[in-house]
Amino acid sequence: MKTQKVLVTGGAGFIGSHLVEALLSRGFQVKVIDNMTNGSSKNLQSSLQNQKFKLVQGDLKDPDVALKNMDDIELVFHFAANPDVRSGEIDPTIHFNENLLVTFNILEAMRRSLQAKLIVFSSSSTIYGEADELPTPEDYGPLFPISIYGASKLGCESMISSYCHTFDMRGIILRFANIVGFRATHGVLIDFVRKLKRNSSELEILGDGKQTKSYLHIEDLIKAISIVLDDFLNRSETVEAYNVGSADQVTVKRIAEVVCEEMGIVFPKFTFKSTTRSGGGWKGDVKTMQLSIDKISDLGWKPSFSSEEAIKKGCKELLGSA
């Protein structure tokens, strides 16, 4: 791989920090820009000791931050975003600013750069909305997201595609399932562990507990990113999208049971709080999700863990017992 200087937006976050470690291990010079809203310098402790690493604390909603830090960059991993799907119901401007506006600023900085012509974008399964086809392939459509978050990610994908075709850039779009593992800061595992630490006799579950989704461990995700990137660099396509997920699903109720098992808690009373007719936990909660991973599997990648295994491993890491 010829590319040597890379930028990782959101690199102090859960997924970004793991990606940074992987890139440094391959010998790349890595710059991270993060406003530390969801990230932390603690996630980068090992990376900060590497001479090929640089951390810039800045807010990419300011276009000048993106412009000033694009010099000499050849490849951009754009992973900065507000990761909380539920926040869109409370304040839609969060996803507009943190996802759409920041992506626009990154693309503009790349357009004005002489070298930054390849972007890898962390998208989401939420762009598919409540898909009629399961597992859902990359060419499924039409796409009707049901959350502000999903809509913002789909908008980012569209901007990336248009910039790549208009300004001779290239782009990889990675549509993630639910990612779990060490350094995660939000999601169902975090929610259950926090609630059970407060009260081990009762657990409130958002939704009817029958929500069924795919979960992928962070280790499998990082391997997938590397494989997709290496393959894409040897091809000529302008933009490609890949689903990255597990080959199965697990219910939210089963996740609750796994967390109780890992915490050594005799099953507490489960109470269910559904706010939608479908039984979802919140407006925008996709009830059933499973991505088709045939396309990325053709590159030689497959997850090491099933959804339930990923949940168990992620829970152990969260509890510090891994």
pLDDT digits (tens, 9 = 90+) for 198-244: 999 999 999 999 999 999 999 999 999 999 999 999 999 999 999 99
Crossing angle for the helix pair 188-198 and 307-319, to the nearest 10 degrees: 50
Query: Which pair of tokens denotes residue 256?
Result: 């609750």
> Tens of pLDDT along 275-285?
888 899 989 99
The CATH H-level superfamily of 180-214+247-291+304-319 is UDP-galactose 4-epimerase, domain 1 (3.90.25.10)
Q: What per-residue confidence (pLDDT) applies to 84?
A: 81
In the chain, where the domains are located:
5-179+217-244, 180-214+247-291+304-319
Angle at which helix 307-319 crosses helix 252-263, to 10 degrees, equals 40
Mean pLDDT, the chain, as a whole number?
95
Sign of CA pseudo-dihedral 3, 4, 5, 10? positive
| Residue 188 confidence (pLDDT) | 95
Report the distance separating Cα 312 and Cα 308, nearest Å.
6
pTM score, whole prediction: 0.96
Structure tokens at 157: 């994908």
How many Å separate Cα 211 from the centre of its chain?
Answer: 19
Half-sphere exposure of 117 (CA within 13 A, CB side): 10
Q: For residue 83, what pLDDT band results from cuts at 50, 70 and 90?
A: confident
Write down the pLDDT at residue 322: 45
Tell me how many helices (H) and strands (E) the chain has.
Answer: 11, 13
Indicate if the alpha-carbon torsion angle 116, 120, 122, 124 is positive or negative.
Answer: positive
Say whether domain 5-179+217-244 belongs to CATH 3.40.50.720: yes
- Determine the Cα–Cα distance for residues 228 and 21; give it in Å rounded to an integer: 17
Q: Write the pLDDT tens digit of every residue in 99-140.
A: 999 999 999 999 999 899 999 999 999 999 999 999 999 999
N- to C-terminal Cα distance for the chain?
34
Q: E strands along 35-176, which residues?
A: 53-57, 75-78, 118-124, 170-176
The predicted pLDDT at position 267 comes to: 83
